[in-house]
Chain A
Amino acid sequence: MKTFKLGGIHPEENKISAQQPIEVVPIPKTVFIPVSQHLGTPAKPIVEKGDVVKTGQLIAKGEGFISANVHSSVSGTVLKVDEIVDYSGYRRLSIVIETEGDEWMDTIDRSTELKKECTLDSKAIIGRINEMGIVGMGGATFPSYVKLNVPHGKKAEYLLINGVECEPYLTSDHRLMLEKGREIMVGITILMKALHVNKAMIGIENNKKDAFQLMTDLAKEFQGITVHTLKVKYPQGAEKQLIKALINREVPSGKLPIEVGCVVHNVGTAFAVYEAIQKNKPLFERIVTVTGKSIKKPSNLLTRVGTSISDLIAMTGGLPDDSGKIISGGPMMGRALSNADAPITKGTSGILVMPEKESKRVATMNCIRCGRCVTVCAMGLEPFLLAKLAENQSWEEAEAEHIMDCMECGSCQYTCPSGRPLLDHVRVGKNEVAKIIRTRKN
């Protein structure tokens, strides 16, 4: 079975919501839509207090090369454009809308029939993806159109589709494949057209056998798409690891996948591309897995962007009494939030409520030089060293030791027998080194 060779761990999968069909969350009374739901420059609001907006209307325009448009997820009146506390406690510029009904832009095709043919050419496809605010739905939220603009001198051979969902607990991609498999396939063909490739490979972890079977059957109806099962190993869903497993190529340090002739997109992104191109629908809703061992009804919820996290938790039976942490994302790469009223954004793949007894961190002890962190690092780094360099503020040395190659998967911290917060220190280090690199460029 295909897999990546270096490092990796196997945490408990806990895919307790895998059998729950997608449910639609009722539209809330108020939505808080941040203007930055993507990597890169925040979008600039083009509406103000008092403006009446429709579902799918453009409300903030992307600025600069790496940016994305933001569309309203509801119809109603803009209450204010102000700094709103997000899940990290910091205030971020958001557009607050009071909902009235659910009137969509009449440019959007709301029919549910599958539309297979795409009449647009590559350039038009990429333009529309940009216009519709499509970003990486795996959680990284990188503006998708940027990846499709292959730089001069490079050529794309493969389109790789990420149906891995290696984070424990999260099942939104799984359900999407089971329930919207054909739409995803059409989305993939559209992406293939945009990239001028005739080979697409979908990678699915072996714990989603039903999805694998379904997607394999569907692939027969389309040209050039193959489906591959991958060994269940974290972080198989990471871009570089997926490339290694599927086509056995390694992306050089500091470079992008296009360097080895491929572009990677999440299944959720492929679905969003289908809706954008075939139905003219911008990105304003997504499936969020709300889960946790004490949650009464772990669910996969189709949510409008801007809905409060607390609304979703209420839909699954309310916050359990023994709750310790609420995590945005999965247990490996997610972040514990300090504000449960924060809004769902394009990148919120899941909300994990962790019971108190599982939320406590172990006491930190000294590094015993066991080397386990080095063994599990999927990027071939030395986490104990990077963490120490970051702690001692030796930024230049950290950069020389490839700290920027760290993808923050958390395998090292998970494995450390001394309970050392390796990833925490590396994150500080990456932040500082990134600042140094930026000032060097200027």
Chain B
Amino acid sequence: MFAIGITAAIILYIVAQKFKVIENPLIDEVVELLPGAHCGGCGYPGCRALAETMVKRGSLENLNCPVGGKEVMGQIAALLGLVAEEKEPMIAVLRCNGSKLNAPDKVLYEGATSCSFLHQLNVGESGCPYGCLGQGDCVFSCKFDAIAIDSKTGLPVIDNENCIACGACVKACPRQIIEIRFKGKKDRRIYVSCVNKEKGGIARKNCSVACIGCGKCVKICPYEAITMENNLAYINFEKCKLCRKCVKECPTNAITELNFPVIKEKAQPNTEVEA
């Protein structure tokens, strides 16, 4: 018995030495610093994969852990003697304001609670072929508790603190309504809360805050940050300086401004969409 034990121990020791994987000890240290959520937000399959890439590449260019953020990236940079990129914080944005009030239900859907399924089967309860279906595929996909359906509006709401812009909800949405945009200075951001490409008259039949493609926002923007394509306006978040001129100009309130102080002169129905 004792002899078998010793033999086994010797064999195990030899095999362990022969098949030992020599790894850079820095990888383990980087993994310690990383949050360990293995969310894929960095674009790599798990924290260890990111750590390996960082150490092997010898540079932190285009590598970023959105969950750890600036703090963790700074620590890793210090450990590896590299420079961490200054990344603008990003967040997921729902580009639709077709709430139960703005885009009332024309029909009732009773099927699998799945946006992908409803999208395939039918235009949806509001009648807008581009609008949010409210079944919560995005909520189901979020691993950070950063998105939930508001029962009053029927639309998903993205949590300002929890969202780390990993992009899972962007992939889950069958209508590509969610976009990752700059979080903005003081968490302020402006975006066109509509992705409807139909002609204005048709779009408005289903939703009172649809973008009708009139182009007034494009003309008023002093920074040429807004473009129009297929009856739909789009604000380039890299060019937008948050001057708010387009929000006032839009005749259908299709542009949403988040986390701004309310201007007292007139009611801003779109700022009811909370952060």
Contacts and interface: CB of A to CB of B under 8 A. Distances in A.
Please classify how large the interface on chain A is, using the bins under 10, 10 to 19, 20 to 34, 35 or more.
10 to 19
A91 B198 CA distance: 10
Interface string A421-433: 1001101100110
B117 A89 contact: no
Given A89-B127, A90-B129, A91-B129, A431 B110 contact: no
Interface string A69-89: 000000000000000010011
A5 interface: no
A338 interface: yes
B262 interface: no
A360 interface: yes
Contact of B121 (A91, A335, A432): A335
A91 to B, nearest CB: 7
Interface string B121-147: 111100101000000000000000000
A428 B110 CA distance: 16
Contacts of B120: 427-428, 431
Q: Binding site of A, secondary structure by majority: helix, strand, loop or mixed?
A: mixed
A361 interface: yes
Interface residues of B, number: 18
A338 B110 CA distance: 12
Interface in A191-212: none
Contact of A89 (B110, B112, B114, B123): B123
A431 B120 CA distance: 8
Contacts of B110: 359-361
Given A88-B123, A91-B129, A338 B116 contact: no
B111 A361 contact: yes
B106 interface: yes
B4 interface: no
B122 A425 contact: no
Contact of B117 (A338, A359, A364, A424): A424
B112 A338 contact: no
B112 to A, nearest CB: 4
Given A425-B117, A427-B117, A89 B124 contact: yes
A388 B137 CA distance: 15
Interface string B234-265: 00000000000000000000000000000000
A182 to B, nearest CB: 40
B168 to A, nearest CB: 10
Contacts of A338: 106-107, 122-123
A421 B122 contact: no
A430 to B, nearest CB: 10
A421 B112 contact: yes
Contacts of A89: 107, 122-124, 127, 129
Nearest to A422: B112
B116 A428 contact: yes
A424 B112 contact: yes
Contacts of A391: 114
B44 to A, nearest CB: 19
Interface in B188-246: 198, 202
24 contacts: A85-B123, A88-B122, A89-B122, A89-B123, A89-B124, A89-B127, A89-B129, A90-B123, A91-B198, A91-B202, A338-B107, A360-B110, A361-B111, A364-B113, A391-B114, A421-B112, A421-B114, A424-B117, A425-B114, A425-B117, A427-B117, A427-B121, A428-B114, A428-B117
Given A90-B129, A424-B114, 13 more contacts: A85-B123, A88-B122, A88-B123, A89-B123, A89-B129, A91-B129, A91-B202, A338-B106, A359-B110, A364-B112, A391-B114, A424-B112, A425-B112
Interface of A: 85, 88-91, 335, 338, 359-361, 364, 391, 421, 424-425, 427-428, 431-432
Going nearest first, the 3 A-B pairs with the smallest beta carbon separation are: A89-B123, A421-B112, A424-B112
